[in-house]
Structure 1
């Protein structure tokens, strides 16, 4: 088998750190969106509300994944 087609080994050693960074970035995006909402109206504000709800759900999922990874 040619080396360029060989799959990379599954390195999960830094998954918790990557997930924590993703949570932090998502929280920052959430906070920035709250600031943006102050200057938005109507449909734009509703879009931000909906996107922030998805962000909150994503944060919860990432936190659960952090717990799972840390316990392995």
Structure 2
């Protein structure tokens, strides 16, 4: 019987999750700022789309902050894998 070795999972490496999440958070903030800068040149329809997207980005920011806190707590509590 042939073994299915190509489906091995990678070990869970969370050692840099806080940093990755912080980078994603910063990128999202920059995207909001860039969108706000471009809104002055947008049509009414584009403005509506930009505002809706920025609202979703704001929601993502809250989720990033919560996840960063969770990951930082895990790191402090000895999760090293």
Which range, TM-score by smaller chain?
Answer: over 0.9
In 2, Cα distance between the equivalents of 1:28 and 1:11? Answer: 27
TM-score (norm 1): 0.93
Show the counterpart of 2:41. Answer: 39
Which consecutive residues of structure 1, in runs of 5 or more, have no partner in the other structure? none
Which consecutive residues of structure 2, in runs of 5 or more, have no partner in the other structure? 75-81
TM-score (norm 2): 0.83
Q: CA deviation at 1:6?
A: 1.1
Aligned residues: 72
**CA deviation map 1:7-57 (0-9, x unaligned):** 100100100000000000001100000011011121100000000000000
For 2:15, what is the secondary structure of its paired residue?
coil
